[in-house]
A and B are shown apart, each in its own frame.
Chain A
Amino acid sequence: MKYLDEFRDQTLAAPLLDELRRSVTRPFRIMEVCGTHTMAIFRNGLRSLLPEGLELISGPGCPVCVTSASHIDAILSMAEQPKVRIALFGDLFRVPGSNGLSLAHASSQGAKVDIVYSPMDSLELAKRHPDELIIFLGVGFETTTPGIAATIMAAQNNNVDNFAVFSTHKVMPPPLMALLNDPELQIDGLLCPGHVSTIIGAGAYQPLVEEYGLACVVGGFEPADILQALIMLARQVGQGEARVENAYTRAVRWEGNARAQQMVSKIFEPVDTEWRGLGTIPLSGLAIRDSYAQFDAEKRLDIKLIPAEEPRGCRCGEILKGKQRPPQCPLFGTRCTPGNPVGPCMVSSEGTCAAFYKYGG
């Protein structure tokens, strides 16, 4: 397949690996921010090939994993209401709330839950079920938000009044800042998320370079892309430099996608929001603007977020911060498995725990 096979080719990967080995001149730690990177690294067996001295730790970039238990509880309370149908991306289906129950359980008890592949599918659901309120669960980072903004615009243009979004959308730079302010977290560089960067642009990481002196390289998701980004990071670290570099030039521009950014800011506004494991981070979330309040499930159903405890023993928080690795969690692989997850890092296909469990640490 074009744009995939050529970046998965061993004849390309082998010399890149050699170059990476030569570039690692001192031990260093890189945080891969994005869940898709975590998964790609495991799936391609990259971990088994990386040179000694290069340590990869996983960051908070799995949107399902950072969704707080209180948000999941709110979702479950909406699912229980009559004449409500929940539309969601599949990853969220098995995430347990504070009482250990998930939408999968709610669905088994008669809640109307539909897994969709595009937010636009919810408008089709709205047409098919005119007596119900279709609530799309807006969970995701900058990559996902423009599509949901477009769906809300389409709903308004087509006068769809039985559709709303429960927005727990989040943006990437604020939690990175919050993490980097933590003195316990020792990292030398960031492998910056490729998909998010197509929207916000590589330039969005410049403040991290200026404030924290961190090497930042935007990388794609194929093995050769990741290796190329790691080489650039290793060189920066080795030479004591810190700047933003873009190893994913076929998709990412310095300024990002201006049109998508405009759509998002037309519909959403920044708000403080709670992240699992990280707590409430100022201006790290996106709420639907008052001018689009009719599409805001929180306002329409008067949902109040109730503070909720994370499952006992679950170390998702520490794992999301890169402070612990999944096997250090007492529940990992015993009480918490992909089939019966306790914490969200085990549920999402992009969660660090799921990756460790599936592909072996």
Chain B
Amino acid sequence: MNPKNSILLDHGSGGIASQELISGLFLKHLDNKILSSLEDSAVLENHPGKLAFSTDSYVVDPIFFPGGDIGTLAVHGTINDLAMRGARPLCLSLGLILEEGLDLDDLERVIISIGKACKEAEVPIVTGDTKVVPRGKGDKIFINTSGIGIVAEEVNISSTMARAGDVIILSGSMGDHGITIMTRRAGISLDGNLASDSASLHKLVALLLDGLPADSLHTLRDPTRGGVATSLNEIAAAAHLMAEIHETDIPVHKEVRAACEIMGLDPLYLANEGKCLVLVAPEQADETLKLMQSTSVGKESAVIGSLKKGTPGQVVLRTAIGGSRILTPLHGEPLPRIC
């Protein structure tokens, strides 16, 4: 690595080096009117409706992986958290913690990704901050993004709104992000097309909010860490209902299944970064599925089960051979088995 082309402690000092980083790198790729004013805070226009506010930090290792990088995750993740409450994301903040010695080319690659993801999502970064920590005190780059969104007055989406009889629809295949990261981290090179599913979901959500009768869309949840098994447990617990899903209806790409078989992992517990669970009144299930499948991020959407009266908080999986088992939430990190 070229020492002249790496992050120095000076870059976080607030002095000239910081200014050069801001104007030469951040504004180059993230430019918009509010950000480029370089004031201490962004002043936003008032919008009718309720405010949604969310924050998330990103520490993924490796920072680059097939299907995305830490930058795309930081944009998509926070946008999705807003969208899961039915919010229209307005803007994001961007906090960077850089490790001394980080290659500037790597930083630029991440910032380009952030810029591209924001542009595609039509959600700008309006305020930001950069700190540099001494070598060994961080790990290349950590990112925090916070986001503000607007929820229309009549929209009320949450896990507690789920009702018995609701149909559970999943917006696509499970485990792509988690298995891509785990195989990279393990240094396992598998032939095939393993790639993260990192994507923003707010346009899919907007389509559902516009296209479905009021009050028919009850719950949205993005099954990130802990996977779909953990998310369904959270929904079932909040709604005091039982969830029943069918193993054969859950989309899982064949390369993900193969990697899971090799590593002894269960795709239902792996992280996703561009998928959501949609719980909808049964009479609107067909229309919801059609709308979801019409989008690029939801074209593999499938009905996977329903909510029932039964043991509150329990998630039951009907297995491929016709048996059943309970899906508990994830405990600890998923660890590979020995044999």
Contact = CB atoms under 8 A, between A and B. Distances in A.
Given A117-B336, A350-B338, A13 B261 contact: no
B324 A45 contact: yes
Interface residues of A, number: 48
B337 A45 contact: no
Interface stretch (A46-54, A233-241, A258-266, A278-286): A46-54
Given A9-B321, A46-B323, A47-B323, A338 B336 contact: no
A63 B338 contact: yes
A43 B247 CA distance: 11
Contacts of A201: none
Interface string A96-129: 0000000000000000000111000100100000
A64 B264 CA distance: 15
A94 B337 CA distance: 12
A140 B338 CA distance: 7
B1 interface: no
Contact of B339 (A10, A46, A116, A140): A140
A249 interface: no
Contacts of B266: 43
B29 interface: no
Contact of B337 (A8, A90, A339): A90
A91 B335 CA distance: 6
B43 interface: no
A44 B321 contact: yes
A4 B261 contact: yes
Contacts of A224: 321
A212 interface: no
Nearest to B332: A339
Contacts of A115: 186, 335-336
A1 B324 CA distance: 22
A350 to B, nearest CB: 6
Contacts of A117: 186-188, 263, 336
B137 interface: no
Interface string A149-174: 00000000000000000000000000
Contacts of A85: none
Contacts of A92: 338
Contacts of B335: 90-91, 93-94, 115, 349
Contacts of B50: none
B321 A91 contact: no
A13 B321 contact: yes
Interface stretch (B7-15, B109-117, B128-136, B312-320): B312-320
A268 interface: no
A143 interface: yes
B257 interface: yes
A223 interface: yes
B328 interface: yes
B206 interface: no
Given A115-B335, A141-B339, A349 B320 contact: no
A206 interface: no
Nearest to A16: B321
B243 to A, nearest CB: 14
A1 B321 contact: no
B325 A144 contact: no
A358 B328 contact: yes
Contacts of B254: 1
Contacts of A359: 325-326, 328
B-side interface mostly: loop
B331 A337 contact: yes
A137 to B, nearest CB: 10
A258 B266 CA distance: 33
B19 to A, nearest CB: 38
Contact of B318 (A4, A45, A93, A139): A45
Interface in B223-266: 254, 257-258, 261, 263-264, 266
Contacts of A44: 319-321, 323, 325
B3 interface: no
B322 A49 contact: yes
B238 to A, nearest CB: 20
B321 A350 contact: no
Interface string B4-46: 0000000000000000000000000000000000000000000
A305 interface: no
A45 B187 contact: no
Contacts of B188: 117
A36, A43, A94, A117: residue with the most chain B Cβ atoms closer than 10 Å:
A117
A90 B336 CA distance: 5
B331 A339 contact: yes
A46 to B, nearest CB: 6
Contact of B321 (A10, A36, A93): A10
A48 B325 contact: yes
Given A63-B338, A91-B337, A14 B328 contact: no
A139 B335 CA distance: 15
Given A63-B338, A91-B337, A10 B325 contact: no
B328 A13 contact: no
A89 interface: yes
A298 B314 CA distance: 47
A360 interface: yes
A357 interface: yes
Nearest to A223: B321
Given A94-B332, A117-B336, A339-B332, A9 B320 contact: yes
Interface string B296-331: 000000000000000000000111111111101001
Interface of B: 186-188, 254, 257-258, 261, 263-264, 266, 317-326, 328, 331-332, 335-339
Given A47-B325, A48-B324, 13 more contacts: A13-B321, A36-B337, A36-B339, A43-B266, A44-B325, A45-B323, A46-B323, A48-B325, A49-B321, A63-B339, A64-B338, A140-B338, A349-B335
27 contacts: A1-B254, A1-B257, A8-B320, A9-B321, A10-B320, A10-B322, A36-B337, A43-B325, A44-B319, A45-B318, A45-B324, A45-B325, A47-B323, A47-B325, A48-B325, A63-B339, A90-B336, A91-B335, A91-B337, A94-B335, A117-B186, A117-B263, A124-B187, A143-B339, A339-B332, A350-B338, A358-B326
